[in-house]
């Protein structure tokens, strides 16, 4: 079977990387697959064809921040329709606790990556999708 981009379904994994009360957020260079949104995101990406969401989360953290970690904790799954073309999105939200907040190594599409104290995040207006990353993080920390 040939792998092609699906225009109807968008399967995404993201990772809340946590360490010593801090969380990692990234900003992207090419924002076209992020609905053109600028601002902070949890590291995320579309899943590759037949890629398991957990393996996708590991890949995302490695490719975007240079962090190798066993990302095994699926916190929750989100499902919604919207964005360009009205595609159905299924987002697998993962959480990983790291022993230290190592300096991220920026991947090719990452403009910036920073660790923020979870109690002192940037203002909501500095996040993509009206602060969606903050909402996801709050849900992850709540459970």
Tally of domains within the chain: 1
Domain assignment of residue 124, yes or no = yes
Burial of 134 (0-12, 13-18, 19+ CB in 10 A): buried
Name the residue with higher pLDDT: 75 or 102: 75
pTM, two decimals, is 0.89
- With respect to residue 2, please indicate whether it lies within any of the assigned structural domains: no
**pLDDT tens sequence across 15-50:** 999 999 999 999 999 877 777 789 999 999 999 999
126 located within any domain: yes
The answer to whether residues 47 and 13 touch, using CB atoms and an 8 Å cutoff, is yes
Do residues 12 and 92 make contact, with C-beta atoms less than 8 angstroms apart?
yes
pLDDT in tens, 92-105: 999 999 998 889 99
**Domain, as residue range, for 121:** 9-142
Q: What angle do CA 34, 37, 41 make, to 5 degrees?
A: 75
Q: What's the pLDDT score for residue 1?
A: 44
Q: Distance of alpha carbon 141 from its chain centroid, rounded?
A: 15
CATH code: domain of residue 30: 3.90.79.10
Nearest-CA neighbor of 20 among 94, 112, 116?
Answer: 116
Please indicate, yes or no, if residue 85 is contained in any of the structural domains. yes
């Amino acid at each position: 079977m040939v792998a092609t981009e699906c225009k109807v379904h968008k399967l995404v994994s993201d990772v809340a990387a946590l360490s010593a009360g801090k969380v990692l957020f990234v900003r992207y260079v090419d924002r076209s697959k992020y609905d053109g949104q600028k601002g902070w995101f949890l590291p995320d990406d579309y899943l590759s064809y037949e890629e398991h969401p957990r393996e996708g989360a590991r890949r995302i953290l490695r490719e975007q921040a240079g962090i190798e970690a066993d990302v095994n904790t699926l916190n929750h799954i989100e499902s919604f329709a919207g964005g360009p073309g009205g595609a159905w999105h299924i987002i697998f939200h993962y959480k990983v606790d790291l022993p230290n907040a190592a300096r991220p190594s920026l991947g090719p599409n990452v403009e910036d990556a920073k660790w923020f104290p979870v109690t002192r995040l940037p203002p909501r207006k500095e996040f993509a999708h009206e602060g969606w990353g903050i909402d996801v993080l709050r849900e992850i920390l709540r459970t």
